Structure 1
Amino acid sequence: MKALNDLYIFVETAKHGSFSNAALALEVTPAAISAAIKRLETQLDVALFIRSTRSLRLTSEGEMLLDKATVGLKSIQEGIDQISQAQGEIGGNIVMSAPSDFGRNLLLGWLDEFSDIYPNITVNLELADSVSNLYNQPIDIAIRYGVPPDSRLVALPLCPRNRRIACAAPSYLEKRPPIREPNDLLEHNSLCFQLTNTMDNHWSFIRNGDSQTVSVKGNFTANDGDAVHRWALLGKGVIYKSILDTANDIKTERLKPILLDWETEPCPVYMVCVDRRVLNPTTSALHQFLKGKCEQHLQEVERYLTQHHYSQIA
């Protein structure tokens, strides 16, 4: 089935004329496109494309394969569509994993709404900040921050505009020196996330070409993002987290954003699976639903920040 998926990617790449355009159309990374084409060329022992820095065109072998693959994939898709129609309405079981903070504070409520729309769906949800091995564990899809480093995975964007944001409870900020520059964080208690031997204590900011990375310190760390979030709500210190995770608290003023005139690190959110076969009508419907929810959530907090005269989020 992986070869079939590679053939599909080959046809789409030929149609769109570049790896990057095909990646956008298929909602995967350019690296995943490149890896699929390389696997296919290795298996066939021929070059399918002639590549240059500005163009991409088929070889004679590539043109021959394109004709046959287009016809074959169309026939296969017709068979799949017939099976889908026979299965009836969207339903079945989805096994998924998600980060703790995103899962508890956003995903649980969204899944409740999703189940109201599609009552024949059941969900098995695993919340953990460790990265699940989708090849060894019985997980259909995973919600993850950042582009997966494994190009073999299919990564569907949920919120590509998401970034990190520095914030703290008003009760904490009222008692401490003002934070006007990133280096001011050195005088503050910062709450950090730690996974295995990696500590997330290097916080980066950019303004007018000036890049600053601050090595923060604090008296609380946890391997659970939601725990760090809750410490911030208790007024224990500053956090540097996903805007999506903190949006509700910012809108209710339980957390106050700081350093908004500085651009922060990207924190895109993806729905990841091991193979496009997992993207059946049910998981595809879930992807579109969650994508809409994430974008709506982000737009709401952006409007709030604008209306309350905060600096615009970059």
Structure 2
Amino acid sequence: MRLLQDLHIFLSTARLGNLTLVAKQLNLTPAATSAAIKRLEQQLGAELFVRSTRSLRLTQAGELFLSHCQPGVEQIELGMQLVQQGREQLCGELRLAMPSDLGRNLLLDWLDQFNQLHPGLSLRLSVTDRMTDLYKEPLDAAIRYGQPADSGMVALVLSGSNHRVLCAAPSYLERYGAPAAPADLSQHHCLRFALKDSTHSNWTFYRQQQTETVVIQGGSVADDGDVVRRWLVSGRGIGFKSLLDVSEDILAGRLVPMCTDWQGEAAPLHLLVPGRSQLTPVIQALRQFLSERLQQQLQLVLELIAASGTVDR
């Protein structure tokens, strides 16, 4: 379906504002992406983008079209998947725990799509940063960052390449500037996450053969990852967040990554189950479904960061 491909190109262009980057992401030529936008504009009888030598931005007509295009494309693709899958649906109750920030702002929409693909399933979600006990609590699986402390737990990799990234809102950077290197964080207001009695205060960065750990003192602390993210977006300070947690904010321009010539701490994401007997068809299907979307999300935000370069103070 050429129209569906053209709509995908439009959505990617609206998000990235760069036809060359869109072409690379979709494995097309810049000429093909440009032609797709022109076809849509001809069909609509309106310009969708204001073009400059370096970037594109949506026109008023483009903003209106975008608001209707995104949900329309999602529904078309969902319908295609349902037809292709036929009537062989998974069923039963899926009891799943997941982190507050990632769960609310990224996974929830995907889980709704997964549920639509398998309407025989019912979801029971526990959205919390508390480390749930899969042996004692009525849960089938948990989505968690890092390696499980219990070696008997089965950890299925959802995103092994995820890592932490320094980020702040444009409003914060306008007032205080950006750190040129991790060592400059002592001059900034930093926002931290706490789990039980442990506060994540040692922020570690890697560059080639270098390793630098900065001990963060003072600043605001919350035991809910989504609270830290909301503080960041409101311009209250700098955070060291999982890239997946803030991917949508970075793509939308609400947060800006900094010191990107340094690699933040690894933050692999796993789907945990108590044992191999719990690796049911539902869990296997969920793992495949989420892995694909997480990989696409990471690739999209990493390409944007690479194209944008490091923010200088």
Is TM-score (shorter-chain normalized) higher than 0.5?
Answer: yes
Alpha-carbon distance in 1 for matches of 2:124, 2:300? 29
The CA RMSD over aligned residues, in Å, is 1.3
- Structure 1 residue 219: deviation in Å? 2.9
Alpha-carbon distance in 1 for matches of 2:140, 2:309? 42
Across the two proteins, how many residue pairs are aligned to each other?
224
CA contact (8 A) 1:95 1:141 kept: yes
Alpha-carbon distance in 2 for matches of 1:95, 1:294? 20
Equivalent in the alignment of 2:108: 108
Alpha-carbon distance in 2 for matches of 1:191, 1:309? 23
Alpha-carbon distance in 2 for matches of 1:150, 1:107? 24
> What secondary structure, in the 3-state scheme, does the structure 1 residue paired with 2:142 have?
strand
Q: Percent identity at matched positions? A: 40
Alpha-carbon distance in 2 for matches of 1:201, 1:91? 43
- Structure 1 residue 310: deviation in Å? 4.5
Output one character per residue of 1:229-259: Cα deviation in whole Å (capped at 9) or x when no partner: 0000000000101100111111111100001
TM-score for the superposition, normalised by structure 2: 0.69
Output one character per residue of 1:69-98: Cα deviation in whole Å (capped at 9) or x when no partner: xxxxxxxxxxxxxxxxxxx63111010100
The question of 1:288 aligning with 2:288 is answered: yes
- Structure 1 residue 306: deviation in Å? 2.4
Equivalent in the alignment of 2:238: 238
Equivalent in the alignment of 2:165: 165
> What secondary structure, in the 3-state scheme, does the structure 2 residue paired with 1:191 have?
strand
CA contact (8 A) 1:146 1:268 kept: yes
CA contact (8 A) 2:89 2:119 kept: no
> What secondary structure, in the 3-state scheme, does the structure 2 residue paired with 1:92 have?
strand
One-letter amino acid of the structure 1 residue matched with residue 138 of structure 2: P
- Structure 1 residue 220: deviation in Å? 1.4
Equivalent in the alignment of 2:150: 150
Alpha-carbon distance in 1 for matches of 2:295, 2:253? 21
Superposition map of 1:6-45 within 5 A: none
> What secondary structure, in the 3-state scheme, does the structure 2 residue paired with 1:147 have?
coil
Output one character per residue of 1:138-186: Cα deviation in whole Å (capped at 9) or x when no partner: 1100000011121100000000000100000010011114311111000
- Structure 1 residue 271: deviation in Å? 0.0
Which of the two has higher C-alpha Rg? 1
Output one character per residue of 1:28-55: Cα deviation in whole Å (capped at 9) or x when no partner: xxxxxxxxxxxxxxxxxxxxxxxxxxxx
The question of 1:95 aligning with 2:105 is answered: no
Task: List runs of 5+ in structure 1 lacking aligned partners.
Answer: 1-87
Alpha-carbon distance in 2 for matches of 1:270, 1:129? 14
Alpha-carbon distance in 2 for matches of 1:234, 1:218? 19
Alpha-carbon distance in 2 for matches of 1:172, 1:93? 44
> What secondary structure, in the 3-state scheme, does the structure 1 residue paired with 2:123 have?
strand
- Structure 1 residue 216: deviation in Å? 1.3
Instruction: Give the 3 Å change call, closer, same or farther, for CA 232–181 of structure 1 in structure 2.
Output: same
- Structure 1 residue 309: deviation in Å? 3.6
Superposition map of 1:211-230 within 5 A: 211-230=211-230
CA contact (8 A) 1:192 1:218 kept: no
Equivalent in the alignment of 1:135: 135
Alpha-carbon distance in 1 for matches of 2:241, 2:142? 19
> What secondary structure, in the 3-state scheme, does the structure 2 residue paired with 1:185 have?
helix
> What secondary structure, in the 3-state scheme, does the structure 1 residue paired with 2:175 have?
coil
Task: List runs of 5+ in structure 2 lacking aligned partners.
Answer: 1-87
Alpha-carbon distance in 2 for matches of 1:135, 1:165? 33
Q: Which runs of 4+ in 1 moved over 3 A?
A: none
CA contact (8 A) 1:155 1:270 kept: yes
Alpha-carbon distance in 2 for matches of 1:162, 1:178? 23
> What secondary structure, in the 3-state scheme, does the structure 2 residue paired with 1:267 have?
coil
Superposition map of 1:53-68 within 5 A: none
Equivalent in the alignment of 2:262: 262
One-letter amino acid of the structure 2 residue matched with residue 239 of structure 1: G
Alpha-carbon distance in 2 for matches of 1:177, 1:253? 16
Equivalent in the alignment of 2:67: none
- Structure 1 residue 208: deviation in Å? 3.0
Alpha-carbon distance in 2 for matches of 1:286, 1:178? 39
> What secondary structure, in the 3-state scheme, does the structure 1 residue paired with 2:176 have?
coil
The question of 1:176 aligning with 2:176 is answered: yes
